[in-house]
Amino acid sequence: MYKIVLIGAGNVATHLLAAFYNSQNTKVVQVYSRNTEVGKILSKKYDVIATDKFDYLVNADLYLICVSDYAIPEVSNLLPFEGKLVAHTSGATDISAINSKNRMAVFYPLQSFSNGVDIDFSPIPICIEALNSDDLKLLFEIGKSISSSVQEISSKQRQLLHISAVFVNNFVNHILYIANDLANHNGVNFDLLKPIIEETISKAIKKTPLNTQTGPAMRGDTDTIKKHLRNIQNDNYRKIYELISKSILDTYA
């Protein structure tokens, strides 16, 4: 049974807490939350000790820092112990953000977590990194207790992978938002677009996005592209339409 202390009480911490709570091989022995009210709620829901003081942190096999990227160095500096395994959970942050008085590591679940949306952890890739093979093995075992996909990924690779994640999550979501906004202005229900959205993703995942591209830009249909551009009022949206169309044209040229 691996003992884990979670530091932070936001989305990532809460989802990890739920996942570890349902696992046989791991136990979250403590949650650190700056906000004592949030700490109390998690404490009750997951039968775990909460604290708002770093000095009260108990012994564990792994300390998981689940805070905003910018706060990782400060929080890791404040830990009142040395030589322990301390991992952050950020995609965009180098392993060296952890103070080297402890054994630096990374435990990054490649997923987008939202407050109040339950999620099945088992397919979520967990990208791990550590400075020696023993720590790596420990992270691997702990990862395996909640996910079927645990991968060793270097800081450099993870930061590049995080860029891909920004494209598929943040940018795809914003493209859907734009379509929704255009539909609203057009007096059409966004629901009409849901079947084509689902089919788009299903096909791109079954085949590969390179082979599932269709549309005016792919066909080099400049008449339709021009007609569409004339009909888009919002400057950002029109520029995005132009630029992605150009990128599609360049990809298949």
* Nearest-approach distance from CB 146 to a copy of itself, in angstroms: 13
- Quick one: 52 or 221, whose CB is closer to a copy of itself? 221
- Quick one: 55 or 167, whose CB is closer to a copy of itself? 167
Confirm if 2 and 138 have CB atoms less than 8 A apart. Answer: yes
* Nearest-approach distance from CB 137 to a copy of itself, in angstroms: 21
* b/e per residue 186-197 (b: at least 16 CB within 10 A): eeeeeeebeeee
Query: Per the structure block, which two tokens stand in for 232?
Result: 């888009």
* Nearest-approach distance from CB 145 to a copy of itself, in angstroms: 18
Query: Per the structure block, which two tokens stand in for 72?
Result: 């990782």
- Quick one: 51 or 111, whose CB is closer to a copy of itself? 111
CA dihedral 45, 47, 53, 54 (to 10 degrees): -120
- Quick one: 99 or 159, whose CB is closer to a copy of itself? 159
* Nearest-approach distance from CB 199 to a copy of itself, in angstroms: 6
Residue 250's CB is within 10 A of a number of other CB atoms, namely 9
Distance CA 211, CA 203 (A): 9
- Quick one: 136 or 183, whose CB is closer to a copy of itself? 183
* Nearest-approach distance from CB 88 to a copy of itself, in angstroms: 14
